[in-house]
Amino acid sequence: MTSSTPPSALDRFHRFLRDFRRRQAGRTVDFPGGFAALDDTYTHSRGNNHVLVDGATDPEALVARADDILGHLPYRLVYVVPDEVAAACRGPLERAGYAYSALYVMRHTGPAPAHGGAREVGLDALRGPAGAAWRRFVPGVSDEEVHHLVERREARLRGAEDVRFLASYAENGEVASWADLYLDPKAGIAHFEDLVTAEEHLGEGHAGRVLDTALHLAAEAGCDLRHLTASASNWPHRWYRRKGFEVVDTIHCFERA
């Protein structure tokens, strides 16, 4: 008998996360309890090459499974969604040299703001500022790595039914801040990623304009579930709290260089 109970907000987010990763992938590899999303075009992008565990899996087998699937890469990244599975997997992964970190899943619970004034832009407008930002965030990063990290936005166009790149412009005409907005109006879900501000425009309010625009557009599209992820160890999650977000879940991350 089919249950008439509607899925919870977390169930909806988890389904979106799984589909979001699969849609972007150049190829996927399934295994009991999860899958790997891979893209040989952007091998330097961990966001495009990782393992996602979203169900019951064998913790002892996960290390070898990740080595087998991600063996062509110089890094390993494993996301584990269920708390109890992450707790069981943490020991084997850490013994194999993985470092643990956490991503907060944050849901916007405040009223939708007025349009912030950011514009929808194409990838061409973001190539320069995004490349400069990556060189700022990762000193010594190679040109090839920057190319992969910038151009992966092409794959992100497959991430949702409606994908928009938003940017706030400074008075001098430069792109000052930008982010990705993923809309699935049928499911009522909006997801935000990669909100970044150019170094020379920090403190001018551009990130808030981009986020307000994204939240406004999401509400306008009928998306009642508006969320993003933020590192538990860095300051932005506190800023997002001030913007009306609250932590509703944690994604467990295990990474080995």
- Cβ–Cβ under 8 Å, residues 13 and 105: yes
Distances (CA, A) of 24 to 69, 76, 153, 203: 17, 19, 10, 33
What are the pLDDT digits (tens) for 209-225?
999 999 999 999 999 99
Q: Which residue's structure tokens are 């999401």?
A: 218
- The rounded distance, in Å, linking the Cα atoms of 5 and 14 is 17
Q: Which residue's structure tokens are 């508006």?
A: 226
DSSP state of 184: E
Distances (CA, A) of 1 to 4, 5, 7, 8: 9, 12, 16, 19
pLDDT of the chain, 257 residues: tens digit per residue? 334 456 799 999 999 999 999 999 999 999 999 999 999 999 999 999 999 999 999 999 999 999 999 999 999 999 999 999 999 999 999 999 999 999 999 999 989 999 999 999 999 999 999 999 999 999 999 999 999 999 999 999 999 999 999 999 999 999 999 999 999 999 999 999 999 999 999 999 999 999 999 999 999 999 999 999 999 999 999 999 999 999 999 999 999 99
What are the pLDDT digits (tens) for 59-81?
999 999 999 999 999 999 999 99
> What pTM was computed for the model?
0.94
- Cβ–Cβ under 8 Å, residues 245 and 253: no
User: Residue 174: helix, strand or coil by DSSP?
Assistant: coil
